[in-house]
């Protein structure tokens, strides 16, 4: 046992020396809620991390910790990265909000970036993505491509981001077909392929001929492919899982943001900011438009362009809530506060929150 200890101590010394040799690099840490192998949310963040490594090469060293539970473990992991010399730390799940702020207070010299939260500090920036922009576009496509006039929506958890997506999708669809119907199934998980597949099958049996999802696995796309209905990819390009069924995918692309912010940290121009990036910033991208006639594709491209250049906002009035009351007046745009905390459905959703 003693021998083992001395051997281990030697190794430790060696590793400590090798670490100090790379001290002038910027160490960038990432905290993940899931495994990079989920092919969804965490996968896309990890793609962003890899892009940072590729782009900035020798100037940075990236490290990540996967499957970090929200709570005390997150606080410890973030602290650990900060203690081990990370200069910039991305915490990529909503539940890391309070832990990130707590750690940031203790490490004023380390810069933190928290995804999808709303609390900031001098050294804590927040960033999120306007996924709902993409959902408006796919809503329009859905209404054009659907024969039954009903889409099925596989949803994860009733948080504002998901509710916002459902509303945006339906508003897009109603802009094409005012009678368009939406059925929602909550699977209470970001990630359960079997359950997502079952939900897709059930929705199809109830008359939906378009399947869209706010869950991370590709299972629903596979079901759509098999049953001959259309589907949309989520988070990453899922066309490979449904070559005949995927109309397009909403792609979370964190790479441009991560590269820009890491560069800012490198040249000392980093500031605490609140980024709510959409199509204009490249954070939300659309996969190739496929399996649709030219006029539908043209419409989708036109809407995408209008959202990108800012001439159109998906939540432009008139918007009616589910109970029939007017939420946004004609010509006005929903205020950002309501958008961020959205907890009501627009008219036409066949579900209750």
Partner 1 sequence: MTAYETIILTVITASTPLLLAAIGELVVERAGVLNLGIEGMMAMGAVSGFAMAQVTGSAWLGVLFAMLAGVAISMLFAFLTQSLVTNQVATGLSITLLGLGLSGLIGGGFVGMPGIKLDYVAIPVLSELPLVGKLIFGQDPLVYISILLTVGVAYTLKKTRIGLIIRAVGQNHHSAHALGYPVIKVRYACIAFGGLTSGLAGAYLSLVYTPQWIENMTAGRGWIALALVVFSTWLPARLAAGAYLFGGVWILGLYAQGMGVGIPSQFLSSLPYLATIIALIVISTNRRLSVINTPASLGQGFVPDR
Partner 2 sequence: MQLILEKRAQASAIMNVASPVLAILLTVILGGIIFAAMGQPPLKALYIYFIDPLTNMWSIEEVLVKAAPLILIGIGLAVTFRANVWNIGAEGQLTAGALLGAMIPIFFAEWQSPLALLAMFALGMIGGAALAAIPALLKIRFGVNEILTSLMLVYIAQLLLDWLVRGPWKDPHGYNFPKSVAFDGWHLVPMFGDGRVHLGLFIALALAVVLFWMMNRTIKGFEIKVIGRAPRAGAFAGFSKTGTVWFCFLLSGALAGLAGIIEVAGPIGQLQPRISPSYGFTAIIVAFLGRLNPIGVIFAGLLLAISYIGGEGVQIELGVSDKTAQVFQGMLLFFILMCDTLIHYRVRFLGAKGAV
Q: How many residues form the binding site for partner 1 (CB under 8 A)? A: 42
Q: Kindly state the helix (H) or strand (E) to which residue 63 belongs, with its residue range.
A: strand 60-65
Q: Which residues are within 8 A (CB) of 214 and not within 5 positions of it... i.e. 6 or more apart?
A: 153, 154, 155, 156, 162, 165, 166, 234
Phi, psi of 251 (to 5 degrees): -110, 125
With CB under 8 A as the contact rule, which of the stretches 1-9, 14-22, 204-212, 266-274 interacts with partner 1? Answer: 204-212
Q: Binding mask 258-297 vs partner 2 (x if CB under 8 A, - otherwise)?
A: ----------------------------------------
Interaction of residue 254 with partner 1, rule CB under 8 A: no
Taking the least distance from each CB to partner 1, the nearer of 54 and 188 is: 188
Q: Which residues are within 8 A (CB) of 12 and not within 5 positions of it... i.e. 6 or more apart?
A: none
Interaction of residue 35 with partner 1, rule CB under 8 A: yes
CA angle 233, 237, 238 (to 5 degrees): 55
Angle between helices 160-176 and 131-145 (to 10 degrees): 40
Q: How many CB atoms lie within 10 A of CB 289?
A: 18
Interaction of residue 203 with partner 1, rule CB under 8 A: yes
Binding partner of residue 145 among partner 1, partner 2, none, CB cut-off 5 to 8 Å per kind: none
Give least dist CB 219 to partner 2, A.
21
Binding partner of residue 184 among partner 1, partner 2, none, CB cut-off 5 to 8 Å per kind: partner 1
Q: How many CB atoms lie within 10 A of CB 342?
A: 24
Give least dist CB 34 to partner 1, A.
8
Q: How many CB atoms lie within 10 A of CB 123?
A: 20
Contacting residue, 240, 305, 326, 336, with partner 1 by CB under 8 A: 240
According to CB under 8 A, which residues from 148 to 207 bind partner 2? 157-160, 188
Which of 33, 43, 40 lies closest to 70, judged by CA?
33
| Contact by Cβ (8 Å): 67, 35 | yes
Q: What is the DSSP letter of 251?
A: E
Residues near partner 1 (CB under 8 A): 35-39, 43, 152, 183-189, 191-199, 201-208, 217-219, 222, 227, 236, 240-241, 350-352
Residues near partner 2 (CB under 8 A): 5, 7-9, 11-12, 14-15, 29, 35, 63-67, 69-73, 75-77, 79-81, 83-84, 94-95, 98, 118, 157-160, 188, 340-343
């Amino acid at each position: 046992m003693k021998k083992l200890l001395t051997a281990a101590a030697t190794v430790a010394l060696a590793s400590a020396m090798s670490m100090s040799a790379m001290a002038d690099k910027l160490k960038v840490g990432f905290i993940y809620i899931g495994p990079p192998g989920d092919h969804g949310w965490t996968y896309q963040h990890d793609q962003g991390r890899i892009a940072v490594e590729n782009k900035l090469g020798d100037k940075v060293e990236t490290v990540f910790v996967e499957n970090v539970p929200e709570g005390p473990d997150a606080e410890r992991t973030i602290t650990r990265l900060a203690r081990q010399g990370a200069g910039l730390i991305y915490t990529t799940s909503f539940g890391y909000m309070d832990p990130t702020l707590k750690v940031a207070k203790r490490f004023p010299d380390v810069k933190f970036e928290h995804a999808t939260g709303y609390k900031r500090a001098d050294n804590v920036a927040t960033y999120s993505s306007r996924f709902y922009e993409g959902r408006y576009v796919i809503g329009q496509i859905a209404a054009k491509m659907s024969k039954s006039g009903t889409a099925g929506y596989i949803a994860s958890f009733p948080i504002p981001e998901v509710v916002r997506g459902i509303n945006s999708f339906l508003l897009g669809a109603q802009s094409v077909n005012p009678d368009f119907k939406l059925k929602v199934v909550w699977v209470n998980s970001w990630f359960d392929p079997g359950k997502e597949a079952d939900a897709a099958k059930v929705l199809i049996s109830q008359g939906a001929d378009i399947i869209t999802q706010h869950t991370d696995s590709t299972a629903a796309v596979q079901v759509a492919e098999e049953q001959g209905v259309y589907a949309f990819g989520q988070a990453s390009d899922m066309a490979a899982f449904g070559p005949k069924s995927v109309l397009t995918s909403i792609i979370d692309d964190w790479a441009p943001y991560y590269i820009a912010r890491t560069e800012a940290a490198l040249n000392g121009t980093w500031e605490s900011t609140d980024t709510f990036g959409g199509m204009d910033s490249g954070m939300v991208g659309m996969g190739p438009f496929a399996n649709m006639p030219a006029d539908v594709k043209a419409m989708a491209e036109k809407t995408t362009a209008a959202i990108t250049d800012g001439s159109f906002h998906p939540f432009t009035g008139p918007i009616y809530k589910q109970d029939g009351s007017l939420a946004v007046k004609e010509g006005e745009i929903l205020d950002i506060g309501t958008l961020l905390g959205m907890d009501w459905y627009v008219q036409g959703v066949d579900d209750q929150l």
